[in-house]
A and B are shown apart, each in its own frame.
Chain A
Amino acid sequence: MTAPTIARTTATRPRPVRAIRARPAAWLVWGLVIFFFVNLAGVIGSVVVSSFGERWFDTWLPQGWTGRWYGEAWRDFGLLPVLVTTVEVSLSVVAISVLVGVPASYVLARRSFPGRRLLYLLFLLPILMPPITYGIPLATVLYKYGFAGHFSGVVLANLVPSVPFVILTMTPFIEQIDPAIERAARMCGAGTGRIFTRILAPLLVPGMLAASILVLVRTVGMFELTFLTAGPDSTTLVVALYNSMSAAGIRAQQSVDAMAVIYTGTMLVLLVLALRVVNPTQLVARVKEEPE
């Protein structure tokens, strides 16, 4: 893939002399990228190979192949309830954060009022702070009121970065809608509620879908907050994976690997879904619109 693309970029340059001089730098850059991807493939590949391997000591590949580690991981770690909890937690977080975040994002995108910048900063802080920083006080509060250690505590903790995330992701989508459409609807006699359900909601479906999937990916992968608030019956997949890894030695390394592969598989399915809706470069470009 790399050679033709270099040829193509050099061909479009006005003066070939410069292109020749730039070539070592181009090779260096592509080399770095390829080196990164080779190592990345090694990191992921070694987990996948190990999860299917029979015995793997000091050789290039395992001595035999088997799928039994998956069964073992499924039974030993009680993966079915863990997966069910993960899905339940993530979907609840997505639903609540979209319901709370979208109206707020609408007001923040469309209106100017005293204290708007302060409020914006307040919504930005949970994304900018490390989860552990606010997670520990939050977990203490949740334990005090008896939420932590249960399903509700995990959902509440995960909502803290998710609601601001929905607000920030939705803002550009709302800005794209022409306010004249709303004004026209208002002239025809529609109230705010009707404008929301009949005009804005259908137009915002792509944005809400994008925000939901991003929140879903973030929640499934969110380790710190879930780790701090989860009890035995409310562990999600990533925390279960961490627990099985930090308690290594009790169980076979391969069944931990199998579990990691299950986790990656889940994440990859979500990722493919997400990329069908969102273009990654556009997505990060929106960060630019955040004030400092």
Chain B
Amino acid sequence: MSRPALTHRLAERGIDRQILLLVPAAVFVLVLFVYPFCYGLGLSFQPERGGPLGAYRAFFTDPYERNTIWTTLKLSLPVALLNVGVSVPIAYRMRGRFRGKRLLTTLLVVPITLGTVLTAQGLLNFLGPAGWFNRILIGAGLTDAPVRLTNNYWGVFFSLLITGFPFAFLLVLSYLSGIDPTLERAAATLGASRTQRFRRITLPLLAPGLATTFCLTFVLAFSVFPSAVLVGDPAGETRVISIAAWHAGYEQYDYAKASAIAIVMGLVELVVIAITLGWRATLFTGSTGGKG
């Protein structure tokens, strides 16, 4: 075959010189994401002692290390579920047009940009033993001694709630406004009650979106690191898996173990996401008829 024919045949399959525009980005992802990942994977099988699986064995046999998986899940799963669960009724109420909607969505973006570090500092001040929250509780006579809400599980929980809820809410709101309201109106003319309409029309159409939202909020909560150190109890109750990885890599300088923990962390996260997306695949995935 002569050369023009080959380029012609390739062009028919969609390959021509324009594809070269992809090269920088593809090289980029390969060099800075795929290669380090494979390097880390290789490194995790070459610990200084214990054979190829030594680093993994060290992680899974030590309960102090192993339990970090459980600690992380115990923190991130309830937070992600709560964020999505609370967002649904609020977004359902607010999906129509009303004055101040743009202001409200703007206000909700603020916590996303605050970042975990500032939220941690704020929570330490606000929920601390002498903070405004405890003063209000004591002033209202609800409690005698300050409630301990920082430097433990709840501090991290609230910090994840503050950063995660607005994100979940905005996502759910945009999914809800993508559902055609005439579907619900049609059900109403057929005599469906408010609960029936929500349960039989809106919720099934919304469920795939909820699954995606859950995945994204879960990723945010699962990668908790700064707030677990700052508002949590990094040596005990909130020693999440990212702290374990950081500890191994930057305090013990055991890169094999750090890489192994990072890989385990990624796998655990992917398992949860795969389960959620597997469940999502069983749901309705057609058009929701709205603005799309």
Please measure, in the bound complex, the distance between the C-alpha atom of A168 and the C-alpha atom of B8, giving whole angstroms: 30
Please encode chain A, from 253 to 292, with 1 for each CB lying within 8 Å of some chain B CB and 0 for all others: 0001100100110011011000100011110110110001
Closest B residue to A112 by beta carbon equals B14
- The verdict on A122 contacting chain B, using a C-beta distance below 8 Å, is yes
Q: A160-B32, A221-B113, A238-B115 are in contact. Are A47 and B21 (CB under 8 A)?
A: no
CB–CB A44/B114 < 8 A: yes
Q: A46-B125, A285-B178 are in contact. Are A133 and B223 (CB under 8 A)?
A: yes
A242 CB contacts on chain B under 8 angstroms: 117, 226, 230
Which residue of the partner chain, among A136, A257, A267, contacts B121 with CB atoms under 8 Å? A257
Q: Is the interface of A mostly helix, strand, loop or mixed?
A: helix
Tell me the B170-227 residues at the A interface (CB within 8 Å): 170-171, 173-175, 177-178, 194, 209, 212, 215-216, 219, 222-223, 225-226
- The verdict on A119 contacting chain B, using a C-beta distance below 8 Å, is yes
- The verdict on B58 contacting chain A, using a C-beta distance below 8 Å, is no
CB–CB B36/A129 < 8 A: no
CB–CB B25/A100 < 8 A: yes
- The verdict on B13 contacting chain A, using a C-beta distance below 8 Å, is yes
Total contacts A to B, CB within 8 angstroms?
263
The interface centre, meaning the residue of A32, A123, A134 with most chain B CB atoms within 10 A of its CB, is A134
- From residue A76, how far is it (CB to closest CB) to chain B in Å? 16
- From residue A265, how far is it (CB to closest CB) to chain B in Å? 11
Closest B residue to A243 by beta carbon equals B117
Closest B residue to A144 by beta carbon equals B39
CB–CB B273/A128 < 8 A: yes
A228 CB contacts on chain B under 8 angstroms: 246, 250
Which residue of the partner chain, among B99, B107, B194, contacts A18 with CB atoms under 8 Å? B194
- The verdict on A33 contacting chain B, using a C-beta distance below 8 Å, is yes
CB–CB B223/A245 < 8 A: no
CB–CB B98/A8 < 8 A: yes
CB–CB B36/A140 < 8 A: yes
Q: Which of A65-73, A81-89, A101-109, A202-210 contacts B (4 or more CB under 8 A)?
A: A101-109
CB–CB B258/A114 < 8 A: no
CB–CB B21/A29 < 8 A: no
- The verdict on A80 contacting chain B, using a C-beta distance below 8 Å, is no
Tell me the A148-207 residues at the B interface (CB within 8 Å): 156-157, 159-160, 163-164, 167, 192
Tell me the B96-124 residues at the A interface (CB within 8 Å): 96, 98-100, 102, 104-111, 113-123
CB–CB A107/B273 < 8 A: no
- From residue B224, how far is it (CB to closest CB) to chain A in Å? 9
Tell me the A217-237 residues at the B interface (CB within 8 Å): 217, 221, 223-224, 228
Please measure, in the bound complex, the distance between the C-alpha atom of A125 and the C-alpha atom of B32, giving whole angstroms: 12
CB–CB B25/A280 < 8 A: no
- The verdict on A1 contacting chain B, using a C-beta distance below 8 Å, is yes
Tell me the A1-15 residues at the B interface (CB within 8 Å): 1, 4-5, 8-9
Tell me the B35-50 residues at the A interface (CB within 8 Å): 35-37, 39-41, 43
CB–CB B126/A137 < 8 A: no
CB–CB A114/B25 < 8 A: no
Tell me the A116-152 residues at the B interface (CB within 8 Å): 119, 122-123, 125-126, 128-141
- The verdict on B69 contacting chain A, using a C-beta distance below 8 Å, is no
Which residue of the partner chain, among B18, B28, B226, contacts A107 with CB atoms under 8 Å? B18
Which residue of the partner chain, among B22, B26, B37, contacts A137 with CB atoms under 8 Å? B37
